[in-house]
Amino acid sequence: MLESTTGFLRCVKCHSKLELDAFKIENEIVEGILECKKCKLVFPIIEKIPIMWDDFSNYLSNRKTLSGRLYQSAITEKMKSFLKSSLSKVVFIDDRTFLEERWSKIYQNSRHSKFYSLIKNSLESLPKSNLVLEHGCSIGIMTLFLADSSKMVFGIDKSFSALRFAKKSYKDNLDYVLADSLSPVFAKLQFDLVIALNILELIEPLELLKHVSKQISSGFFVISDPYDFDRGANSVRKPLDEQQLRTNLEKFGFKIFPKTKNPSYIPWNLKLNPRATLNYRVDLIIANKSTS
């Protein structure tokens, strides 16, 4: 984690500023703790990634294999002690580790998909931004690209495996946060550009739109999705189709760019393995808000 990132992050419970206790620093913070003195929540920084979860033990409860790996890879005695204490409180109920690792590898193998080139072209047509946020950034394909033309870029994702890969590409204006996209990890911070690519099946669409609308008072929102909501028990409660997404964006104060008013069908090909490819047709919307 960049030391400067401390100034942007806030307690996910009370929105207070956080105090940093760095255990190991190289060109950035490798291990440490972010603590809220007001509500006493503690957020670990592990392998350069701040884990902004309101209950760290709860996060680990769904990732048994990852839990063991984090403890084994801990560098400092302070971090080993913190992890040992956290693990003593965990009741393991699931293990998403291998699923998250698998999707991280799928995105790595698919990062040269034409989809990303088309999205990059669309982003290049927008004004340069000072502060950028990507929800569901995964391995950092778009955040890394945006860091070349923006003052500061953040990516947020739930997958430690994906962010571990993203952190391999260092830039002094790019950082990542492990958190729920709907959590107030940046409190009332306003962004010039927010992007959310193909994540509406993973986050309640209306809640995401409401959350992002509070993060942009004057700026741009780029969102895409294939509307693949059939996820069984893991399906979102209120899916949105092409028109409903546009209608709700306008309700939240966004003005949709004319060229994206109609649904689009951008190819997004994901290489699942050497013999299988998942082919989507993705809809893209570019919208903005203005204070004038």
Mean pLDDT of 254-278: 96
Other Cβ atoms within 10 Å of 292 Cβ, number: 3
What is the per-residue pLDDT for 231?
80
- pLDDT range class, residue 216, cuts 50, 70, 90: very high
- pLDDT range class, residue 292, cuts 50, 70, 90: low
In 3-state terms the chain splits into helix, strand, coil percentages (rounded to 5) of 35, 25, 40
What is the per-residue pLDDT for 232?
75
For the cut 70, the answer to whether the pLDDT of residue 150 exceeds it is: yes
* Angle subtended at Cα 179 by Cα 101 and Cα 250, rounded to the nearest 5 degrees: 110
Q: b or e along 97-127 (b: 16 or more beta carbons within 10 Å of the residue's beta carbon)? A: beebbebbbbbeebbebebbebbeebbeebe
Is residue 188 exposed (0-12), middle (13-18) or buried (19+ Cβ within 10 Å)? Answer: exposed
Using one digit for the tens of pLDDT, what is the confidence trace for 112-147? 999 999 999 999 999 999 999 999 999 999 999 999
CA distances to 145, 210, 256, 284, 285 from 123, in Å: 10, 22, 15, 11, 11
Strand partners, 174: 153
Mean pLDDT of 31-42: 96
Q: Return the domain boundaries, the chain.
A: 3-95, 102-289
- Higher pLDDT, residue 290 or 56: 56
The domain made up of 102-289 has a fold known as: Rossmann fold (3.40.50)
Mean pLDDT value across the chain: 96
Mean pLDDT of 174-194: 97
Stated as kind and residue range, the H or E segment containing 123 is helix 114-124
